[in-house]
Each structure stands twice: as structure tokens, then as C-alpha cells.
């Protein structure tokens, strides 16, 4: 834990949203958003995708609060580069970071890459056995906002608001949370960074922020759509007790099995918009050539439910989710419950 | 050139503090003037100030014990003199630690150390803790709390590792209670003073979050009012009226730059200074 309040400029703190936001200049609306991200499991399967996806996610994170991804810095962690395979992992990771920066590009300057303004490389990260750590590029992204007041926390806001999925789950669960923690395997089918798709989705979400539509936004990453929605439920004002029913029938056009829909980590966003905006949001997404799914309305029952048409697949009380979320590390590190 | 603190609140900048600029900004939001006093300037310039604030941070790197080195700094002789003469003095976080180590709070015997701000220990949690908590206003009679209503429930952030008010002398606590020297107590979002975590975040004796001297002009508070001075600083998911206000303000900078739950500490000072004819 560290001091996330010092200087008094906080607008959104770590954990409140996908990126932290500050209002750096008195009397000005300009805001800065910061995010640091990385997932070593993708790189273990494909070090190129590991680098590329880390940039995609960091860029998504700042777009989630309405900021334009404007620069990154990297922290590239690998094993012993004197070993040919490890050096190859490093090379692939750098190639992935570079491709993502060039192909997502600066939204504000057509044809310019997102600049990598600094970085650090850490080699020889290995255990006593000499086995290298998984390729672990960590990316920090800075985003710029014209107006920090549009940045919102990920938590549900009001009953009757509508959740939309901006993007689409694909059948690419390799290295993902579901395979590792539920099935106990890595798989091989790692998500493929699609820079054009990422750019269009990021542009769309930033545009929705600028239009003042977004009441909450959260990107899809580890744990997929279901985890993202759960985090949005957990992040709300606990005295509001809002819930959601996710009907897989809404996502039937993806043609995927339920667990793939729920846990696919394909880059996307979930946004909460006021009711009655279907036409506007559909038009915006069509214009930007991104997929859009209307997932349903936020209700006033403090639980999260997954159904498939008339069949209930799962249900959790909000309190149960919150406890699991807050005590995850305690369980792992062996601190007894209730502390 | 000697600086002029006439009509100004002096924010004391010890080496290692890190909240002085936003504290000065927060003071200015209520229409007061504020200036920074560097620790090695001539303390005599403080004679002209209208009030003194010791901001948060890590004065002298928290060497030996938080606040103890700054408490021995020569500027504190001047602060002691002015405080004894009735000038309003507020210590925030590290500043509170300095005031306690200086023996100004509770100041039953002026300049003798009667309290400690000990390392946080709550059940079996310990260490640095940064989060929004709730506090209940117990005393409106101080120079820094007159604009609140008695019993007001104030959401406000804390960020410290040594914030547990303790004394081994029961008479000190008893006297503080009798004299109305307990200014803020940690509570839950509904105002119930509950001794268990998370309502009491650091194990503080009697849930004390802020205390004052007998006269009420010197207040030592662990929470940070300058981090709750603007509505935009309030977390969106706070389960109270402030959280709702924050959410309603989305998209409206003027609203979000408006008053947060802690601004009244500074408004209280302005009120007090006007009443006393100082301003």
C-alpha cells in the first residue's frame, strides 16, 4: 500500500477504475491517466503476443477512463539473454511492444506511433535451477484527457442503466485465467493482438466519454466478461445494492460455448450507459466499425446471475463476491479469514 | 528579504514534508491567504501570521520517531509562544505527530509529552495504511471545527503508519474527555463509533482521530482535510451523501471543484479569525 492521495490531485485512485486519474493543473480541465499492466502467462505461450497484448491492455486501461493513450514506458523482465531461447523471447517481446505502439498509433496524430518514452530491461531473472521467469513485459501507459470530469469509476451507478459490450469474445482462451485456475492448464491458443480492432474500440470508448454518455467503463482482461461485470458490481457504492443478470442468449451470435463467452480475454470494453441510448450507441459503433452487444439492464437485486435463456447457470450474492475479491490474497498467503 | 506573513496562514515547510502545497491551496479555497514558511527562515516573521499549519509528510525523514526531530526545531519555540498566546495551530498527520511530540497536544502541562502517536496496531493488522475512513466531529469549540455541526460524520482520508493515539496515563485520557479535547473519533459511515476494524483503522485509543489543547486553538489531526477539500477527491463509491454528490457531479468541473467534506476545517478557521477581529 502506498500514498495515492498525496498532492491532493486525485480524481480516481488505483482500484477505482482501470487507470488512476489526476487533475494536475489548478483551474484547468486537462487530466492525466496512468495505468501499469502486464500478464506473464501470454508471453509464456507466445512472447510476441505477450509484448503486444501488454501494450493493448495498458492503452485500453487509460481509454476506459476516457483518456487518449499518449505514451508508454516499459519494464522488460526476462531470463538469461546468453541463452539463445531467452534472447529470442526478449526479441519477440520487443517486436510485440513496437508493433502495438506503431499500429495502434497516436489517436491525436495520424500516422505517428505511441511513443515509448523510456524503459528498463531486467535480465537474468531466474530461479536457483536456472529456469528463466516467464517473459514479463510490463507496460505503463499515460493517457491525456481534455476534461477529467468525464472519468468514472468502474462501479455500477444506477438501476435501469444498460451494460454494453464494445467488442466481442473470440475463441482464444490460452494463458487465460479460466484455463489456469479452473482447468489447471495453460492451453496454447493465446489471444492474438488485433491492433486495428483495439484502436477502433479505444476510439469508440473515448468518443462515448467525450459525449458524456459513460457512467462506468471497464476493460475486458484477466477473467473475461464475467470477471469484468463482477468487478463492476463489487466497485459500486455498497449501500446501493445493484445487480445484473447476464443472459448468454444476448451473446449467441458469437457462436461460442458459455464458458468461452464468459471467460474469453479478447480485448474489449463493458460500458454502462443511461437507458434509451440504443440507437445512438449502435450508430457510433457502426461508424467506427466495432462490434456492439447490448447485455442488459442493471437491476436492484444485490446479486450477479448468469442465465442462458430460461436456464440459470450461476448466481452469486454481491456480498459473497465482495468477500472473495477482498480476501483473495489472504487466502493465498495463509492469513486466516476475517482479518 | 524577510517574507511577510501579514494576514496569512503560515504553512511550515520542514525538510521532508510533502503536503505543503496542497495544504496551502486548500486553505486558499475558503478565501484565506496562505504562504509557505521554510524551516530555516527567521521565526520572528511568524509573529504577523494569523494561523499556523504543520502539514503532512516525513519531516526530517521520520528519523528516530515520526515528528520528534521537527518538534526540537527552533521554529517550534516560536510556534509554542504563539500557540500559548492563542494563535490557531493545526497539525495534519506528520504535523499532528510534531504537535504531540512538542507537548502542545493535549498540553495539560504545556510542552510535556503526555500522548504518543504509536505505530498502527489493529487486531493483527499493522503498518502503513492509506484509505478513506469516517470520523465523527466531537467538539465544535476549537478554532478549526466551529463551522461543523456537532456529531457531523466526515468522510476523510488517512495515510500513516504511526497514528494510534495512546497514553499510559489514564488521567490524561480522563482529563482530555472532561475538557472536551477529543475533536474527532473514527466511526463507521453512519457515525457509530466502533472500536473494531475497519471503523477504527489504526487501533487508536477511544477511536481518537484528532485531539486539541485545553483552549482548543491547537488541533492535532491524523486525517488529511486537504485531501477532502474538493468534491472531485471523494471516491465515487462512498456509501453516503458525499458519494452521491460526487457521482452527480460527473461531467461538471465546477461542481467537482466545489466543496468536499474536509473544507470546513479551513472555513472554521476563517470564521474564527473574523469573529476574533483578526481579519
* Distance between B228 CA and the closest CA of chain A, angstroms: 8
The verdict on a CB contact (< 8 Å) between A5 and B249 is no
**A217-269 pLDDT per residue, tens:** 999 999 999 999 999 999 999 999 999 999 999 999 999 999 999 999 999 99
The verdict on a CB contact (< 8 Å) between A16 and B237 is yes
- Encode chain B (279 residues) as per-residue pLDDT tens digits: 678 999 999 999 999 999 999 999 999 999 999 999 999 999 999 999 999 999 999 999 999 999 999 999 999 999 999 999 999 999 999 999 999 999 999 999 999 999 999 999 987 788 999 999 999 999 999 999 999 999 999 999 999 999 999 999 999 999 999 999 999 999 999 999 999 999 999 999 999 999 999 999 999 999 999 999 999 999 999 999 999 999 999 999 999 999 999 999 999 999 999 999 999
**A36-53 pLDDT per residue, tens:** 989 999 999 999 999 999
Q: What's residue B170's pLDDT? A: 94
Return the number of CB contacts < 8 Å for A and B: 88
The verdict on a CB contact (< 8 Å) between A150 and B26 is no
Q: Chain A within 8 Å of B196 (Cβ-Cβ)?
A: no
The verdict on a CB contact (< 8 Å) between B253 and A149 is yes
Among B123, B128, B229, the residue with its CB nearest the CB of A339 is B123
Q: At what angle do helices A224-234 and A318-326 cross, to 10 degrees?
A: 100
The answer, yes or no, to whether the previous bond of B198 is cis (omega within 30 of 0) is yes
CB contact residues (below 8 A), chain A span 103-162, against chain B: 147-150, 152-153, 155, 157
* Distance between B238 CA and the closest CA of chain A, angstroms: 6
Query: Cα A164 to chain center, whole Å?
Result: 15
Closest-CA residue of chain B to A158:
B247
Start and end residues for every CATH 3.30.1330.10 domain found in chain A: 10-150
* Distance between A31 CA and the closest CA of chain B, angstroms: 11
CB contact residues (below 8 A), chain B span 8-67, against chain A: 18-19, 21-22, 25-26, 56
Are the beta carbons of A318 and A258 closer than 8 angstroms?
Answer: no
List of chain B residues whose C-beta atoms are within 8 Å of the C-beta of residue A238: 237, 239
DSSP A289: T
Are the beta carbons of A168 and A266 closer than 8 angstroms?
Answer: yes
Relative to beta strand B51-54, strand A116-122 is unpaired
* Distance between A234 CA and the closest CA of chain B, angstroms: 10
* Distance between A337 CA and the closest CA of chain B, angstroms: 12
What single string gives the DSSP state of each residue in chain B?
-----TTEEEEEE-TTB--HHHHHHHHHTTT-EEEEEETTS-GGGGGG-SEEEE-SB-GGGG-SSTTHHHHTSTHHHHHHHHHHTT--EEEETHHHHHHHHTT-SS-SSTTS---EEEEPEETTEES-EEEEEEEEE--S-STTTTTSPTT-EEEEEEEESEEEEE-S-HHHHHHHHHTT-EEEEEE-TTS---SSTTTSSS--GGGEEEEE-TTSSEEEESS-GGGSSBGGGS-TT-SSHHHHHHHHTTT-HHHHTSB-TTTHHHHHHHHHHHHTT--
CATH number, domain A162-332: 3.90.650.10
* Distance between B53 CA and the closest CA of chain A, angstroms: 16
Q: What's residue A335's pLDDT? A: 64
- Parse chain B into domains and list their residue ranges: 8-228+263-275, 231-259
Q: Which residues contact B16 (CB under 8 A, 6 or more apart)?
A: B57, B58, B59, B60, B61, B62
User: Which residues pair with residue B244 across a beta bridge?
Assistant: none
Q: What's residue A336's pLDDT? A: 54
List of chain A residues whose C-beta atoms are within 8 Å of the C-beta of residue B254: none
User: Which residues pair with residue B121 across a beta bridge?
Assistant: B126
Which whole-number Å values give the CA distances from B278 to A55, A146, A291, B78, in the listed order? 57, 42, 65, 19
Start and end residues for every CATH 3.90.650.10 domain found in chain A: 162-332
Specify burial of residue B233 (Cβ count, 10 A radius: 0-12, 13-18, 19+).
buried
Alpha-carbon distance B77 to B82, whole Å?
9
HEC secondary structure over A227-288: HHHHHHHHCCCCCCCCEEEEEHHHHHHHCCCHHHHHHCCCCEEEEEECCCCHHHHHHHHHHC
Residues of chain A with pLDDT under 70: 335-339
Residues of B carrying an active site annotation: 93, 224, 226
List of chain A residues whose C-beta atoms are within 8 Å of the C-beta of residue B125: 339
Q: Chain B within 8 Å of A235 (Cβ-Cβ)?
A: yes
Specify burial of residue B49 (Cβ count, 10 A radius: 0-12, 13-18, 19+).
buried
Taking each continuous run of H as one helix and of E as one strand, the counts in chain A are: 10, 13
3-state secondary structure of A305: strand
Which whole-number Å values give the CA distances from A175 to A4, A57, A59, B99, B166, in the listed order? 31, 15, 20, 54, 51
Which whole-number Å values give the CA distances from A140 to A20, A67, A137, A194, B41, in the listed order? 12, 14, 10, 20, 41
Which whole-number Å values give the CA distances from A322 to A194, A228, A241, A248, A319, in the listed order? 33, 13, 12, 23, 5
User: Which residues pair with residue A317 across a beta bridge?
Assistant: A303
Are the beta carbons of A224 and A280 closer than 8 angstroms?
Answer: no
Are the beta carbons of A153 and A16 closer than 8 angstroms?
Answer: yes
Which whole-number Å values give the CA distances from B197 to B50, B119, B126, B201, B206, in the listed order? 38, 15, 11, 6, 13
Dihedral of alpha carbons A6, A8, A9, A11, sign: positive
Alpha-carbon distance A304 to B142, whole Å?
48
Half-sphere exposure in the Cβ direction for A338 (13 Å, CA): 2
Alpha-carbon distance A304 to A325, whole Å?
14
CATH topology of domain B8-228+263-275: Rossmann fold (3.40.50)
List of chain A residues whose C-beta atoms are within 8 Å of the C-beta of residue B226: 8
List of chain B residues whose C-beta atoms are within 8 Å of the C-beta of residue A12: 236
Among B125, B232, B243, the residue with its CB nearest the CB of A237 is B243
Alpha-carbon distance B247 to B235, whole Å?
9
* Distance between B19 CA and the closest CA of chain A, angstroms: 6
The dihedrals phi and psi of A42, each to the nearest 5 degrees, come to -65, -45
Q: Chain B within 8 Å of A26 (Cβ-Cβ)?
A: yes
3-state secondary structure of A104: helix
C-alpha cell at A46: 507466445
The verdict on a CB contact (< 8 Å) between A5 and B159 is yes
Among A29, A212, A239, the residue with its CB nearest the CB of B239 is A239
Are the beta carbons of A193 and A100 closer than 8 angstroms?
Answer: yes
Among A29, A153, A339, the residue with its CB nearest the CB of B253 is A29
The answer, yes or no, to whether the previous bond of B135 is cis (omega within 30 of 0) is no
Q: Which of B269, B152, B272, B271 is closest to B209 using CA atoms?
A: B152
Virtual torsion, Cα B153, B223, B269, B108, nearest 10 deg:
100
Are the beta carbons of B230 and B264 closer than 8 angstroms?
Answer: no
CB contact residues (below 8 A), chain B span 136-165, against chain A: 157, 159
Closest-CA residue of chain B to A5:
B227
The verdict on a CB contact (< 8 Å) between A1 and B128 is yes
The verdict on a CB contact (< 8 Å) between B25 and A8 is yes
Q: Chain B within 8 Å of A64 (Cβ-Cβ)?
A: no
The verdict on a CB contact (< 8 Å) between A8 and B123 is no
Q: ipTM greater than 0.90, yes or no?
A: yes
Span A10-150 CATH architecture: 2-Layer Sandwich (3.30)
Q: Chain A within 8 Å of B258 (Cβ-Cβ)?
A: no
Q: What's residue A339's pLDDT? A: 40
What single string gives the DSSP state of each residue in A160-229?
T-EEEEES---S--TTSHIIIIII----S-PPPP-HHHHHHHHHHHHHHHHTT--SEEEEE-TTHHHHHH
Relative to beta strand B129-137, strand B125-126 is unpaired
Which whole-number Å values give the CA distances from B199 to B189, B196, B233, in the listed order? 8, 6, 20
List of chain B residues whose C-beta atoms are within 8 Å of the C-beta of residue A16: 235-237
Amino acid at each position: 500500500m502506498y500514498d495515492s492521495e498525496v498532492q491532493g490531485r486525485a480524481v480516481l485512485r488505483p482500484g477505482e477504475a482501470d487507470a488512476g486519474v489526476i487533475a494536475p493543473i489548478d483551474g484547468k480541465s486537462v487530466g492525466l491517466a496512468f495505468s501499469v499492466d502486464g500478464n506473464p502467462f501470454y508471453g509464456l505461450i507466445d512472447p510476441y503476443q505477450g509484448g503486444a497484448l501488454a501494450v493493448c491492455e495498458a492503452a485500453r486501461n487509460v481509454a476506459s477512463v476516457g483518456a487518449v493513450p499518449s505514451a508508454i514506458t516499459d519494464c522488460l523482465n526476462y531470463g538469461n539473454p546468453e541463452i539463445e531461447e531467452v534472447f529470442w523471447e526478449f526479441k519477440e517481446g520487443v517486436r510485440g511492444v513496437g508493433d502495438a505502439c506503431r499500429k495502434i498509433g497516436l489517436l491525436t496524430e495520424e500516422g505517428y506511433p505511441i511513443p515509448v518514452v523510456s524503459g528498463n530491461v531486467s535480465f537474468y531473472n531466474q530461479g536457483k535451477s536456472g529456469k528463466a521467469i516467464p517473459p514479463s513485459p510490463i507496460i505503463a501507459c499515460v493517457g491525456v484527457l481534455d476534461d477529467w470530469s468525464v472519468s468514472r469509476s468502474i462501479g455500477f451507478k444506477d438501476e435501469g442503466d444498460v451494460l454494453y459490450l464494445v467488442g466481442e469474445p473470440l475463441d482464444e482462451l490460452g494463458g487465460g485465467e479460466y484455463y489456469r485456475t479452473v482447468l489447471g492448464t495453460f492451453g496454447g491458443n493465446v489471444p492474438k493482438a488485433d491492433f486495428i480492432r483495439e484502436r477502433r474500440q479505444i476510439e469508440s470508448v473515448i468518443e462515448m466519454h467525450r459525449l458524456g454518455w459513460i457512467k462506468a467503463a471497464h476493460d475486458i482482461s484477466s477473467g473475461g466478461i464475467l470477471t469484468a461485470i463482477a468487478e463492476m458490481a463489487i466497485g459500486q457504492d455498497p449501500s446501493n445494492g445493484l445487480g445484473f443478470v447476464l443472459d448468454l442468449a444476448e451473446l449467441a451470435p458469437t457462436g461460442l460455448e458459455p464458458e468461452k463467452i464468459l471467460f474469453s480475454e479478447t480485448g474489449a470494453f463493458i460500458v454502462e450507459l443511461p437507458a434509451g441510448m440504443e440507437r445512438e450507441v449502435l450508430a457510433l459503433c457502426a461508424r467506427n466499425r466495432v462490434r456492439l452487444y447490448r447485455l442488459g439492464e442493471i437491476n436492484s437485486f444485490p446479486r450477479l446471475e448468469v442465465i442462458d435463456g430460461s436456464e440459470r447457470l450461476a448466481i452469486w450474492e454481491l456480498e459473497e463476491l465482495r468477500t472473495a475479491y477482498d480476501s483473495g490474497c489472504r487466502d493465498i498467503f495463509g492469513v486466516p479469514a476475517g482479518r | 528579504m524577510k517574507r511577510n506573513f501579514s494576514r496569512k496562514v503560515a504553512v511550515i515547510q520542514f525538510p521532508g514534508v510533502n503536503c505543503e502545497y496542497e495544504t496551502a491551496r486548500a486553505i486558499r479555497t475558503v478565501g484565506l491567504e496562505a504562504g509557505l514558511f521554510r524551516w530555516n527562515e527567521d521565526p520572528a516573521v511568524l509573529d504577523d501570521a494569523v494561523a499556523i499549519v504543520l502539514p503532512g509528510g516525513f519531516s526530517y525523514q521520520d528519523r528516530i520517531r515520526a515528528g520528534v526531530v521537527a518538534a526540537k526545531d527552533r521554529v517550534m519555540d516560536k510556534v509554542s509562544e504563539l500557540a500559548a498566546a492563542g494563535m490557531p495551530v493545526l497539525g495534519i498527520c506528520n504535523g499532528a505527530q510534531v504537535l504531540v511530540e512538542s507537548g502542545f497536544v493535549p498540553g495539560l502541562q504545556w510542552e510535556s509529552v503526555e500522548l504518543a502517536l504509536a505505530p498502527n496496531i489493529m487486531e493483527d493488522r499493522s503498518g502503513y495504511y492509506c484509505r478513506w475512513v469516517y470520523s465523527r466531529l466531537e467538539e465544535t469549540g476549537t478554532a478549526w471545527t466551529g463551522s461543523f455541526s456537532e456529531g457531523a460524520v466526515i468522510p476523510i482520508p488517512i495515510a500513516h503508519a504511526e497514528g494510534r493515539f495512546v497514553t499510559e496515563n489514564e488521567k490524561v485520557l480522563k482529563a482530555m474527555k472532561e475538557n472536551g479535547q477529543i475533536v474527532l473519533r473514527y466511526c463507521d459511515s453512519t457515525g457509530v463509533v466502533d472500536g473494531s476494524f475497519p471503523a477504527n483503522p489504526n487501533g487508536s485509543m477511544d477511536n481518537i482521530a484528532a485531539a486539541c489543547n485545553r483552549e482548543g486553538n491547537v488541533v492535532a489531526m491524523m486525517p488529511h482535510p486537504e485531501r477532502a477539500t474538493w468534491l472531485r477527491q471523494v471516491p465515487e463509491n462512498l456509501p453516503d451523501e458525499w458519494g452521491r454528490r460526487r457521482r452527480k457531479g460527473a461531467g461538471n468541473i465546477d461542481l467537482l471543484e466545489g466543496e468536499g467534506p474536509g473544507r470546513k476545517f479551513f472555513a472554521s478557521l476563517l470564521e474564527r479569525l473574523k469573529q476574533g477581529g483578526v481579519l
